[in-house]
Amino acid sequence: MALTTKSKYADNYVDPVGKSVPRIEGRGIVTGQLKYVFDVQMANMLVGKMLRSPHAHARIISIDTSKAEALPGVKAIVTAKDTYQIKFGSNEYFFPHTVDQMALESEKVRYIGDEVAAVAAVDDETADEALRLIDVKYEVLPGVFEIEEAMKPGAPQIHEALNNIALILPVNFNNPERMMKEADLVREDKFWCPVAHPSPMEPHVCVGQWETFTNKITLWSSSQAPFKCREALAKTLKMDLNDVRVIKMAVGGGFGGKLEMLPMDFAACLLSKKAGGLPVKICLTREEEFTTTRRKHGMIYKVKTGVKKDGTILAMTGEVLADGGAYCSYGPTVLAAAMMRIFMVYKIQHFKMTGYRVYTNNPISGAMRGFGGVQSGFAIESHMDLIAKDLGMDPIEFRLKNITEPNMTTVNKMILTTNGLRECIEKALVASDWANKHGKMKHLKRGLGIGIAADVMGSKMYKSHESAGAIVKVEEDGSVYFFTGAADTGQGSNTALSQIAAQELGVSFSRIKCKSGDTEITPFDTGSFASRVTFISGNASLLAGRDAKRQILEIVAKDKNLDVEEIDIRAEKVVFKKDARLIMSFDKALELCYSFHYGKQIIGRGSYNPKTTPIDFRSGEGNVSGSYGFEAQIAEVEVDTDTGVVKVLELWDAHDIGRAINPQSCEGQIEGSLAMGLGYTFYEDLRFKNGRVLNPNFAGYRVPRSIGIPKMNSIMVETNDPEGPFGAKGMGEAALLPTSAAIANAVEDAIGVRIKELPITPDKIIKALKEKQGTQ
């Protein structure tokens, strides 16, 4: 029986990889039909809300919930008494002592917003009223809010850590002190990298449901890492992993902020249990989003470099002080990344840098797109330009002298294989007309600046492995179901991974139906972070496609008495490898698999764990990633010296992405990163006073909007990494790393002043111009 007589796919076949196929979710998005957790409505669903500390630092004396419980419409209230009081954190594999946060605090609160209780009620107003009726008595403690103050002996003690230093991270290689003495020039700089906030458009939102009779939990969560969330929930609720199901729906952006379980996820489940199993939805307000989720670490970045006259870097030393806020979150690895990314970019043999992650009574720092690299990108790439200037060298010539090369091992044992950094610099140089513009537009108050960067394609964070799995299931009518644990948060991974699976299986992209990010149905995946998904989950997708294909080919080979090694599926057809001669169509092959004789289900599986070595945080050694990505970025600016306003005229980003699986999505990632980089350079600055966020809304905290987006040029450099799926590398973060420095460098080229403290505001420009006039 022929289920299909003619394939609608074969006639329109094009290779899926390398094509800008539209987003799988596109039609759902533009019609408003795509469902986010934000949109979930269920019968008898309760409104959950968190009770938060109004104090930056206080001891909890008592919590009285009796009045709130008596309020009609209140269905459940939970406090720490209802929990096992098990701490959770995000770097438990490498830094177990930094697991330091309770889902609900009972002894102390450490920042304004710290969770002490949660309520579930029939509606919004009742939940709000219940929060007001919970009586918490506090003994207010002195707080500490500045990094250097918190480190002083005698400062208010926030956790047990001595001098509030949660972590000291030394990175030492060879003998920088000796090499500094041999240097012709030593330069030292200090930078301030402010606090940005991910602030995705869909706030943190979850629906928790506890089936009270079976003791199973389902959490619908707007998450970048559903499996990580499952693990933290199971651990803190003392349940088995398989008792907890985390379902990721469409996610309205994450940018690092949705990488962890938050107390709200935990509370929604516990409230549901107390309410007899009714679903409980907790959705943060924008103010809660800005004040109680996760933010970028503010960093004081001090760096000193010794160079030879010819521009060769001999040694680098430095110190990084990071404002961690009340809890550790992903802080330890963010700090490590902020110090160690440089080894991917520059050949440095003698190095000593020490990082301090310091507790303060400010909101919690954690992961945000760029993961420490935005801060180091600004500091290091500004510093490099300053050294080049001292040497009287062109900043590009100086960089080309010191950058990493293909097929080399760095001082900290990172193995760089394909490395398109040189090509990226050269392409950006040509595209921006550097030779004719740099240093030659001062009369117009215009300038050009460069920044370069590199990024990992994954990194171990909370487990000993970072594997991804995928399943390709081919049905008898030829439909292909593709299951991935990867969490698409808007970057387009469902689409890109489906393209990879389709390409490897040898079929049209439109056959694929993608199911992703459900811990009970899809294979395990550590999550969307560290630009890992295209590379790691992509390899799993490729292997699943290959496995399914092999199963089909084995049936065809058996039936036609052929050697399975000599046949393949290409472009919807089973063919001979050597001359592409047709054996049968893909649809016919599936009919054969599911025929009377064979009845063979086609279920391909793929599992991929990158070839890395665990990083040793005592030394900083380790090949953290299976592949590395590179880029060079050039900014052209014009400065109005009367008002101090800097206008970015154009940006060029040349990016070694290995291979573009979906060029349009790659451009989207680059353009989005550049815009986010513009925001960090000019206005994204979450400010605190005594631990209180001063600008917790989009009016006070400006993010990039349509006005002020300059022309952006994405230049893809394809190095075809042999380890990547079809040569691809990840690329979700790198383009954000050097933007601030490229702009600061361009400002100096235009008007001769240097801004070392972000954001670059008009008043800083005016002040710097005045100081410059004063010194002349």
Contacts with other proteins by CB under 8 A lie at: 20, 22-23, 25-36, 38-39, 41, 199-203, 250-253, 255, 285-286, 489-492, 664-665, 667-668, 671-672, 674-676, 679, 697-699, 703-709, 712
Identity of the residue, 201 or 694, whose beta carbon is nearer to other proteins in the bound complex: 201
* CB contact at 8 A, 485 and 522: yes
Identity of the residue, 289 or 504, whose beta carbon is nearer to other proteins in the bound complex: 289
Identity of the residue, 289 or 631, whose beta carbon is nearer to other proteins in the bound complex: 289
Residues of 165-185 as b/e, b for ≥16 C-beta within 10 angstroms?
ebbebebebeebeebbeebee
Q: How far is the CB of 131 from other proteins (least distance, A)?
A: 18
* CB contact at 8 A, 498 and 509: yes
Q: How far is the CB of 664 from other proteins (least distance, A)?
A: 4
Q: What is the 3-state secondary structure (H, E, C) of 629-690?
A: EEEEEEEEEEEECCCCEEEEEEEEEEEECCCCCCHHHHHHHHHHHHHHHHHHHHCCCCCEEC
Identity of the residue, 23 or 350, whose beta carbon is nearer to other proteins in the bound complex: 23
Q: How far is the CB of 382 from other proteins (least distance, A)?
A: 23
Identity of the residue, 597 or 711, whose beta carbon is nearer to other proteins in the bound complex: 711
Distance in angstroms (rounded) separating the CA atoms of residues 218 and 69: 25
Q: How far is the CB of 371 from other proteins (least distance, A)?
A: 17
How many CA atoms are closer than 13 Å to the CA of 21, on its beta-carbon side? 26
**Which one, of 200, 721, 293, lies nearest residue 491 by Cα?**
200
Q: How far is the CB of 640 from other proteins (least distance, A)?
A: 18
Q: How far is the CB of 496 from other proteins (least distance, A)?
A: 12
Identity of the residue, 12 or 697, whose beta carbon is nearer to other proteins in the bound complex: 697
Distance in angstroms (rounded) separating the CA atoms of residues 106 and 79: 8
Q: How far is the CB of 256 from other proteins (least distance, A)?
A: 12
Identity of the residue, 199 or 365, whose beta carbon is nearer to other proteins in the bound complex: 199
Identity of the residue, 544 or 674, whose beta carbon is nearer to other proteins in the bound complex: 674
Structure tokens at 226: 């559903």
Q: How far is the CB of 244 from other proteins (least distance, A)?
A: 25
Identity of the residue, 533 or 675, whose beta carbon is nearer to other proteins in the bound complex: 675
Q: How far is the CB of 21 from other proteins (least distance, A)?
A: 10
The residue ranges of DSSP E strands in 405-511, in sequence order, are 408-409, 415-416, 446-456, 468-474, 480-484
The DSSP bridge pattern shows strands 74-79 and 46-52 to be unpaired
Q: How far is the CB of 18 from other proteins (least distance, A)?
A: 15
Q: How far is the CB of 491 from other proteins (least distance, A)?
A: 7
Identity of the residue, 84 or 698, whose beta carbon is nearer to other proteins in the bound complex: 698
Identity of the residue, 172 or 664, whose beta carbon is nearer to other proteins in the bound complex: 664
Torsion, CA 396, CA 401, CA 403, CA 407, rounded to 10: 140
Q: Token match 């009796």: residue?
A: 66
Q: What single-letter amino acid sits at 223?
A: S
Q: How far is the CB of 290 from other proteins (least distance, A)?
A: 10
Q: How far is the CB of 245 from other proteins (least distance, A)?
A: 23
The residue ranges of DSSP E strands in 224-349, in sequence order, are 244-247, 280-283, 298-307, 313-325
* CB contact at 8 A, 740 and 377: yes
Q: What single-letter amino acid sits at 552?
A: I
**Which one, of 168, 529, 126, 183, lies nearest residue 322 by Cα?**
168
Give the sign of the dihedral formed by CA 80, CA 84, CA 87, CA 88: negative
Q: Please state the length of the chain.
A: 776
* CB contact at 8 A, 549 and 276: no
Cα–Cα distance list, 259 to 438, 505, 621 (Å): 41, 32, 25
Structure tokens at 67: 């009045």
* CB contact at 8 A, 208 and 217: yes
Identity of the residue, 38 or 227, whose beta carbon is nearer to other proteins in the bound complex: 38
The Cα diameter of the chain in Å comes to: 91
Identity of the residue, 492 or 506, whose beta carbon is nearer to other proteins in the bound complex: 492
Structure tokens at 24: 């799988």
Give the sign of the dihedral formed by CA 35, CA 39, CA 44, CA 45: positive
